[in-house]
Amino acid sequence: MDISHYIGNRDVFPVLAKWDFFNHAGVAPIPRPASDAIRGFASEAESVAYLGTRWYADIEKLRILSANLIHAHRDEIAFVKNTSEGISIVAHGIEWQWGDVIVTTNAEYPANIYPWLEVVKMRGVRLVQVPEEAAADGTRRVPLDKILEAASQKQCKLVALSHVEYASGQRHDVQRIGEFCRSRGILFSVDAIQALGVIPVDVQAMKIDFLAADGHKWLLGAEGAGIFYCRKDLLERMRPLMIGWMNVINAQDYGDIDFTLKSDAGRFECGSYNVAGLLALKASMETLMSVGIPQIFDRVKHLTDRLVEGLEIKGYKVVSPRDFGHWSGAVSFVGKTHDSAEIVRSLRKNHRIEIALRENRLRASPHFYNTDAQIDRLIDTLPVG
């Protein structure tokens, strides 16, 4: 489907009729195909229970869609309830040794910090957090060379990064980091919740070993349904976070107790699915992939460039890196003359414009279906910075 079909389309994105919504880096509104999928599930569950439904066949289609989205194999995809669960699978599935080192940043969302702190507490592992710095142009970023330097120490076993940092909007050079890690036998785990759906991801080219992402941000899914990727060569080495009836082969043979874990990523799925959430995610993912992630990437670059230009004219300082390799769909900015929290409240209450506040920074994150006119309204409505 041509991208122009979706821009400003209130039939597909009903939120457009009520809000200028710029918080897709937070919790996104779901498109009509996703809400139709949830309503369809509810109607069938109400009237026929599970009899004659295609829920599990559609969930298998979602597994294949998810694999295609990130250039993986369907056997490498598991469904999780959120990013935290996916990262925790990695944290608890690796055989840690006393003195091992995990490298991350001090700018991570808590979902990509707390699981590693638990490993530190329980396994005697050391966590190294590379700090965010102010660049020469005033933007905030974690320097690539500092990450690679921290990961160069002999004891480094894993690098754990967000593809895009939630508060600064910095997009890491994941491919460079992945190649560095793979060449040294270091595992590489990526929190991709701020990337999937807007930034092209290729786990093979980027040498990613593990990837986790809930679907409720740029993938436009409902909360509580996400994906987890584990590189096929590592599956047998990883123990599941939780054990239940679905982790094992022949899971439908309830009377035959055979505690043999599945050979694919299904070994990480312990029990019944969030069927409604996964069906909604499938519908949203199909919508996105009908447009094409590269096309969405270009469209969001256009919208955020327009926003940045207007913010700078209005007197705000944009702290998000905007150079070719580091920009993302999240634009964080600060002003000098107004209370940031009050700006967020006023935009929401008085103008039906939604942005976010993260780490005392205003953050706007438009998606491909937002219009130029909406961006202009946001800029016009903001007080002088």
* Whether residue 297 sits in one domain with residue 237: no
Backbone CA torsion sign across 135, 141, 144, 149: positive
* Whether residue 208 sits in one domain with residue 346: no
* Whether residue 299 sits in one domain with residue 281: no
Q: Which phi-psi region, left, alpha or beta, contains residue 89 (left: φ > 0; alpha: ψ -120 to 50)?
A: alpha
pLDDT, tens only, 130-177: 999 999 888 999 999 999 999 999 999 999 999 999 999 999 999 999
Query: How many domains is the chain partitioned into structurally?
Result: 2
Q: Which of residues 239, 274, 289 is at a domain's end? A: 289
* Whether residue 59 sits in one domain with residue 182: yes
* Whether residue 120 sits in one domain with residue 9: no
The CATH number linked to 93 is 3.40.640.10
**How does pLDDT run along the chain (385 residues), one tens digit per residue?**
899 999 999 999 999 999 999 999 999 999 999 999 999 999 999 999 999 999 999 999 999 999 999 999 999 999 999 999 999 999 999 999 999 999 999 999 999 999 999 999 999 999 999 999 999 888 999 999 999 999 999 999 999 999 999 999 999 999 999 999 999 999 999 999 999 999 999 999 999 999 999 999 999 999 999 999 999 999 999 999 999 999 999 988 888 888 999 999 999 999 999 999 999 999 999 999 999 999 999 999 999 999 999 999 999 999 999 999 999 999 999 999 889 999 999 999 999 999 999 999 999 999 999 999 999 999 999 999 8
* Whether residue 45 sits in one domain with residue 26: no
DSSP state letter for 110: G
Backbone CA torsion sign across 83, 199, 278, 262: negative
* Whether residue 205 sits in one domain with residue 251: yes
**Residue 325 lies in domain:** 3-31+292-381
* Whether residue 65 sits in one domain with residue 101: yes
* Whether residue 201 sits in one domain with residue 57: yes
* Whether residue 27 sits in one domain with residue 156: no
Query: DSSP of 220-270, one letter per residue?
Result: ---TT-EEEEE-GGGGGGPPPSS--TTSBTTTT-TTS----B-SSGGGG--
Query: DSSP of 12-81, one letter per residue?
Result: T-GGGGT-EE-BTTT-PPPPHHHHHHHHHHHHHHHHHTTTT--HHHHHHHHHHHHHHHHT--GGGEEEES
| pTM for this model (two decimals) | 0.96
Q: Which residue has the tokens 């096929």?
A: 232
The Cα–Cα gap between 265 and 258 comes to: 18
* Whether residue 127 sits in one domain with residue 265: yes
The Cα–Cα gap between 304 and 37 comes to: 31
* Whether residue 284 sits in one domain with residue 190: yes
* pLDDT in the model for residue 256: 80
The CATH number linked to 359 is 3.90.1150.10
DSSP state letter for 273: -
Q: Which of residues 242, 261, 289 is at a domain's end? A: 289
